[in-house]
Structure formats: structure tokens, C-alpha cells
Amino acid sequence: MKGVVYQCFLASAVGGLLSLDRTAAFQVMLSRPLVASPVIGYILGDAMTGLLIGGVLELLFIGELPIGGYIPPHETMLTVVITAVSLIGQKALGVIDIAVFPNWYLVGFGSADIFFILGFAILIVIPMDIICRKADAAARVFNVRLFNAALAGLDKGFIKAVGTNNLKGLGVFFALNLLTIFVLTFSGVLLVYILLPLLPRVVVMSLPFAVGAACATGLSSAYSALYGSRSLTVFLAATFFAVTLLAMVIR
């Protein structure tokens, strides 16, 4: 259990740093699922599976951007949590006595096939976005106070107040995101560990369809985001590239 807690915290710390790129600092796309998921996969020992998960989630969230006051689904936190739950959960199931699993669970891919774990992770984590949004909104509200404090400092001639409150704002985002990701990741791993082996056969066998549904929804979202006179060619080319890449990863 200590190892699981450590991995959850490690993923949460890296995820908290990556999430700063979303709106708080830099904004060089490091927070996008296609980058964040392989990074989390790498620190957890499976960058290739992280790339696979990132490709699916990038399509799913490609049309959602935090513009102005609109707070979309927090794709960075969701990506980190789904990736970490999938990989840590896979390892957790791997140390359980295989006797606890029904015979039908052995479908030729091993006792913890990633598509079953990933499908389960998608289904349990996506609804958690309401918590991610509330954490993001809380950070923004708190940073309004820091902004006002910086303005008050400028009025009094304290130039350093701008830099100090800027750093405090980054710290608020990082701390809230780290805490949120850790709680959601650890909760998700517990659900994988406890609930997944108890699910009926028909439910477990249908879990990979959740991954397929996410891919289909993501392709539709990608097409809508690219819709235009020349976008169909770009869309088809990108789809072909993504499918080829995923096929190479899976093989």
C-alpha cells in the first residue's frame, strides 16, 4: 500500500506542475493529454501505454478550451488521474492472487489487461470532473484576491508585490491541483482494487467499449473542431496517423 500511495503522490506532483501550463503559466501545451499522459506513464514505468491513453483523451478533449471566463472540463487533471489510475491499478491487480478473478477474466491479455482497466478508469473518473472544476474555480477566486493585493501594493509603490503575489498565485494553483489529483487518483485506485473484481461478467467484458466510445466521441469532436473547406483532408490525415501510431503501440 505504501508503494501505491507513493506512486499516487508522484503522479499528483508531476500532474500539478503540468497543470500550471494550462492557464497559470507558460501555456506551451505541456498540459495537453497527448503530452501529459506519456509523461505520467514514463514516471510510472510505462510511457508507451501513457501515449496510447493520451491519444484517446486528446481526441476527447480537443474541442474544449479555457477561453475567458468559461471553465471547460479540466482535461489535464482528468488525464493525469485516468492515466495514473489505469497504470497503478494494473499493477495493483497484478499482485492480487489470480484466484480472486473469475476464469472469464483471463481473456488472453493477462490478468489486468489495460483496455479493461482504462475503460473502468474512464467511466469512474470522467464524472469526477465536477470536483476538478470546483478546485480550478476556487484557485481563480483566491487569485483574484492576490491580484487585488498586487494592485494595492503598486498603489503604495511596492513593485515587488507584483512578483510576490504572482508566485503565490502559482503556488495556489499547484497546491490545489496536487491535492485534488492525489485524492481522485488514490480513490480511483481503491475502486479498481476493490470494485473491479466484484463486477458481473457482462459489465467487465463491456469495459473496453468505453474506450471505443471515447475514441468515437473524440473523433467526432476533432472533426467539429476542424470543420471547414480544407479541414476534412487534415482530419482524415490526422486520423490515419493516430490509428497507425496506436496500432504500432498496441503491437
More confident residue, 73 or 39: 39
Nearest to 55 by CA among 231, 209, 241: 241
- Cβ within 8 Å of residue 31, ≥6 positions away: 18, 19, 20, 21, 22, 75, 76
Residues with Cβ within 8 Å of residue 249, at least 6 apart in sequence: 48, 49, 51, 52
- Average pLDDT, stretch 29-44? 89
Q: What average pLDDT score do residues 190-197 get?
A: 85
Q: What is the pLDDT of residue 26?
A: 75
Q: Where are the domains of the chain?
A: 2-136+178-250
Q: Given a cut of 50, is residue 184 above it in pLDDT?
A: yes
pLDDT of residue 42: 92
Most confident of 31-45, 130-144, 232-246: 31-45
Confidence of residue 107 (pLDDT cuts 50, 70, 90): very low
pLDDT of amino acid 240: 61
Residue 180 · residue 77 · CB < 8 Å: yes
Residue 66 in this model has a pLDDT that exceeds 70: no
CA distance 191 to 85: 9
Between 240 and 5, name the one with better pLDDT. Answer: 5
Q: With a cut of 80, say whether residue 81 has pLDDT above it.
A: yes
Geometric angle at alpha carbon 174, from 56 and 185, rounded to 5° = 50
Q: In this predicted model, what pLDDT tens digit does every residue of 6-21 receive, in sequence order?
A: 899 999 999 988 988 8
Read off the pTM: 0.76
C-alpha grid cell, residue 50: 501513457
pLDDT confidence band for 27 (50 / 70 / 90): confident
Quick check: 212 pLDDT over 60?
A: yes
pLDDT at 5 over 50: yes
More confident residue, 185 or 114: 185
For residue 125, pLDDT over 80 is answered with yes
The whole-angstrom separation of Cα 150 and Cα 154 is 6
How far apart CA 97 and CA 101 sit, in angstroms, is 8
What's residue 104's pLDDT?
42
pLDDT tens, residue by residue, 128-181 = 989 988 887 787 777 766 666 656 665 566 666 556 666 676 777 888 889 999
